Amino acid sequence: MRSTTSQPIDGTSQAPGSRARSRRSRPSSGLAVAYLLAAATAAALIVDAVVHLKDAFFYDANTGALISQGQLFRIQAVVAIVAALAVLALPRKWPAWLFAALVAGSAAAAVVAYTYIDIGPIAGLPNMYEPSWGPPGKLLSAVAEGLGTLLALAGLGWALAMHRPAAHAARAARAADAAGAAREAQEAQLTQASAEGEAAPRHRR
């Protein structure tokens, strides 16, 4: 008699062990992508920080009611460094990516706006209108800020995509724990009722 169990001949079947290894390799490759994005984002933010620190003293004379442009440059540099460290230290956390995207994006928007629009003094800030890309480092920092924004948004998308399955798994684990606790309580009640039922005839005797 021929065996009724047929073996696949197209080579598409996989052993359970190989499927498990494949599932484990996907998170590893995804985390590698996150670290690459974090390194690239941090590099762009550091370039932005270095340019702002280097050029800050050129703009110390441009003062507003509350702060000078040079001081704004130094603040931007410090915030960019903090954002770079955040994505390097916490590449799985979406708030770190969101913070980096806001830092780089706001800086890119500001440099473009003040290059093409004479906004004037506003909210205690100086008039930073500078209709030229000629100042040293200005174009480099703008490019770094734009790239940093795009990279941070890509990292944010990755982190959010990874966060959903993790949150679903955590909810499933909590539900399983609750169901297990309920079963144990029910079994304890049944055991107690059975013990009481066995003890009752003895008392009657």
Mean pLDDT along residues 51-57: 96
Chain segment 68-116, per-residue pLDDT in tens: 999 999 999 999 999 999 999 999 999 999 999 999 999 999 999 999 9
Does the structure show a pLDDT above 70 at 119?
A: yes
Label residue 137 left, alpha or beta by phi (over 0 means left) and psi (-120 to 50 means alpha).
left
Q: 140 with 54: CB under 8 angstroms?
A: no
- Residue entry with tokens 């003293």: 57
Alpha-carbon distance of 190 to 184, in angstroms, equals: 10
Residue 204 has pLDDT above 80, yes or no: no
The candidate with the shortest Cα–Cα distance to 108, out of 142, 147, 135, 139, is 142
Model-level pTM greater than 0.75? Answer: no
Asked if residues 70 and 128 have their Cβ atoms less than 8 Å apart, the reply is no
Burial of residue 18, with CB atoms counted within 10 A of its CB: 0-12 exposed, 13-18 middle, 19 or more buried: exposed
Q: What is the pLDDT of residue 178?
A: 59
**Domain limits of the chain?**
33-156
**4: pLDDT confidence band, cut at 50, 70 and 90?**
very low
How far apart CA 205 and CA 193 sit, in angstroms, is 19
Q: Is the pLDDT of residue 127 over 90?
A: yes
CA-CA distance, 79 to 59, in Å (whole number)? 18
